[in-house]
Structures are given as C-alpha cells and as structure tokens.
A = this chain, B = another copy of it.
Amino acid sequence: MTSDLDPAIAARLKRSPDGLIPAIAQQYDTGEVLMLGWMDDEALHRTLTTGRCTYWSRSRREYWVKGDTSGHVQHVRSVALDCDADTLLVKVDQVGAACHTGARTCFDADVLPLGQ
C-alpha cells in the first residue's frame, strides 16, 4: 500500500520479499528485549509519528497498535535502522507485559539447552 513515510527513509529500506522489516522492541532503560514485530513502510511511519509502536500483523494481515486491545502500550523513545537498513531497533517504554501470555517479555519462558 502507499505510505506517508518520508521518501528519503523509504528509499533506504531493504525489505523482505513480503515488504516487511523486523523490528526489535527493547525497553529503553533496562535494556530488556521485549519482542520482535514486523513493520511495513506505513507501520514505520505511524511508529515514528504517533509515539506508539505500530506493527503489521502477518497472521491477521492488518495494522496493530501495540496495547490497543491489552492496554500494554509501547511508548516510542527512539527508532534506529541498522547498518544494512534491513532491521529496526525501537526503544520503548513498555506499559505492563509485552507478551500476550502475560510475561514481561516474549523471551522469558523458553530457554533452549546448550551443549546438546
């Protein structure tokens, strides 16, 4: 779809074949990695301009403002593009749990065994 994203930014993005870029959400002060979501140009535009993290849901095929349903809002503190312009790091202030399971982060529950 068309997007209001700044064309100077859009021109630099390297998207996956489905037009998306992975976005890592990190708690700005503690450094916790909270979750990984996906953004297209418009989701990035909304994230940069509204102060609220907006993702593209690959399963529901719709925009998804984090916290609109759960109340677990992500207030945007900064957004950085990586050296290859194919990954975003979004530093946020996470209200409540980032994970839909109620865990603080999506990575809390399932640590894999090393050395096997």
User: Which A residues fall within an 8 A CB radius of B?
Assistant: 6, 9, 16-17, 22, 24, 26, 30-33, 35-36, 48-49, 51, 76, 78-85, 87, 89, 99-101, 103, 106-116
Contacts and interface: CB of A to CB of B under 8 A. Distances in A.
A9 to B, nearest CB: 6
Contacts of A51: 114-115
A88 to B, nearest CB: 8
Q: A interface, by DSSP: helix, strand, loop or mixed?
A: loop
Contacts of A82: 35-36, 106-107, 110
Contact of A30 (B16, B31, B87, B103): B31
- Identify the 6 closest CB pairs spanning chains A and B, nearest first: A31-B31, A82-B106, A89-B107, A80-B107, A36-B87, A81-B110
